[in-house]
Amino acid sequence: MSAAAAVPPPWQAAQQALLGLHAAIAAAHQSGLESIGRDDAEPFIGLVADLSRALERNLPTLQAAALSGPMPPATAALLQQVAHELQALLALNSKLSARTQRALDALFPADHVKAYSRLAGRANPFSGPLASGNGGGYLKA
């Protein structure tokens, strides 16, 4: 008897869904790493959007399998792998976001932004005791 035959049909569909998610996560992760060198995040953003749709599309299959009975060990291992890969992708995204934030902080130091915002508030003829707010709002980048 083959390993696939030992897995009940709902779990076979779940395993196929998990394998597809695994491939989509790997592609998105690789694209995220490559985006660092080429300073172009568009392919990464596209693959993450595709992954999001795949996660949504495959959720009913995984939920149906979970209601069908106990999870086979091979499926449990694959599910843990996919969960781990999603966490790694989230960590990569956080690092990429932090990199972007550091670049913005270097371009627009907070002290300068606050100083110019205060100047802009003073230059506003509608700021004063009767105006709403204090007229010292910050510029938003």
What are the residue ranges spanned by the domains of the chain? 10-112
Residue-level pLDDT at 22: 97
CA distances from 137 to 8, 79, 120, 121 (A): 61, 48, 9, 7
30-72 pLDDT per residue, tens: 999 998 888 788 999 999 999 999 999 999 999 999 999 899 9
Side-chain half-sphere exposure of 68, counting CA atoms within 13 A: 16
Q: In the chain, pLDDT over 90 holds for what percent of residues?
A: 52
Residue-level pLDDT at 124: 60
Residue-level pLDDT at 140: 47
Phi-psi region of 139 (alpha: psi -120 to 50; beta: other; left: phi over 0): beta
Which amino acid does the sequence have at 106? A
- In the structure, what pLDDT confidence band is assigned to residue 7 with cuts at 50, 70 and 90? confident
Question: How many other CB atoms are there within 10 angstroms of residue 65's CB atom?
Answer: 23
Residue-level pLDDT at 107: 77
Torsion angle of C-alpha atoms 77, 80, 85, 86, degrees rounded to 10: 150
Side-chain half-sphere exposure of 34, counting CA atoms within 13 A: 11
**Cα–Cα distance for residue pair 84/90, rounded to 1 Å:** 10
14-31 pLDDT per residue, tens: 999 999 999 999 999 999
83-136 pLDDT per residue, tens: 999 999 999 999 888 877 777 778 777 776 777 777 777 766 555 544 444 444
